[in-house]
A = this chain, B = another copy of it.
Amino acid sequence: MAVHDTVSFLSDYGHDDEFVGVVHSVIRTIAPDARVIDLTHGIPAHDTRAGGLTLARAVQYVAPGIVLAVVDPGVGTSRRAIAVEVGGGAGIFVGPDNGLLAPGVAMAGGATRAVELLDDRFHLPAPGPTFAGRDVFAPVAAHLCTGVELDELGPAIDTASLLPGVLPVSRDEEGVVVAEVLWVDRFGNAQLNIGPDELVSRRATLRVGDVVRTATLAPTYGAVPTGGVGLVVDAYGLVSIALDQRSAAEELTLSPGSEVRLEPLGEGPAGHTTPLAFPTTRREA
């Protein structure tokens, strides 16, 4: 089996403290030749859902090897520390068993094996159980890069026992697509949990709380008319709400979890609703 030499690292550690640097240092000490790629450390604190969605988006681009993911509000409690193999060894996810890894594992084709990280030969001695990223997950990721085998890390566990991630499902209410914001990016674009196949018309009435706007399908962010609201198929193939060089999230008060209702508008006069049935989608990790 190939020895892995890349660790792709995601967390909610932020960059204000030394957490990320210490994890890099631990890996550098144990596995000097491994390369660590920071996917992001900007996941909101404790937000396993946001972390899971980010992993799901990123995983298809990640270099073969180890994915180290730490968003761990239950650190030190009974939640398990795990390593999950995908693709029969093509990659291994290391992190807490709290749903964080599940969407990424699913996007990578599903778990082929899993172990609980109980063998402390591969951990650092720790004054307390509160920084598992440094004391458990980072050294395990590093040891995997030095050739330690998955089954040395601890007892095998049933992959069916892993905590699933829950991705919200859009629904159809008499022709209105009821979607949810998955993610607001740095530019203020709000990604929805629907693909373009769920839009039956180029224009739609968009409702977010009390705000009602007309939204129009646009091929790129730059093609959204000034002052208008665009529906743009984003870089992950999902529909996002976008304004031209301004923040849609700010102007429309959107944040992850916001409900967005899209009612199709005919190509004719605005206000004429095309009575088509929308397919509902179901995405689960």
Which A residues have a C-beta under 8 Å from some C-beta of B?
5-6, 8, 10, 12-22, 24-26, 28-29, 32, 35, 37-42, 45-46, 54, 57-58, 61-64, 73-77, 126-131, 134-135, 183, 185-187, 219-223, 232-237, 245
Contact = CB atoms under 8 A, between A and B. Distances in A.
A25 B62 contact: yes
Given A127-B233, A186-B13, A236-B127, A222 B18 contact: no
Interface of A is mostly: loop
A66 to B, nearest CB: 13
Contact of A73 (B127, B185, B222): B222
Given A127-B236, A235-B128, A24 B42 contact: no
A127 B245 CA distance: 21
A21 B16 contact: no
B130 A235 contact: yes
Contact of A21 (B8, B183, B221): B8
Contact of A77 (B38, B127, B222): B222
- Complex copy number for this chain: 3
Nearest to A242: B130
A187 B28 CA distance: 25
A134 B57 contact: no
B25 A63 contact: yes
Contacts of A15: 15, 40-42
Contact of A185 (B17, B58, B219): B17
A126 B26 CA distance: 35
B42 A37 contact: no
Contacts of A14: 42, 186
A10 B18 contact: yes
Contacts of A16: 40, 42, 185-186
A5 B28 CA distance: 11
A43 to B, nearest CB: 9
Contact of A232 (B28, B63, B126, B128): B128
A186 B236 CA distance: 30
Nearest to A185: B17
Interface centre among A14, A37, A234 (most CB of B within 10 A): A37
A272 to B, nearest CB: 28
A6 to B, nearest CB: 6
A63 B203 CA distance: 49
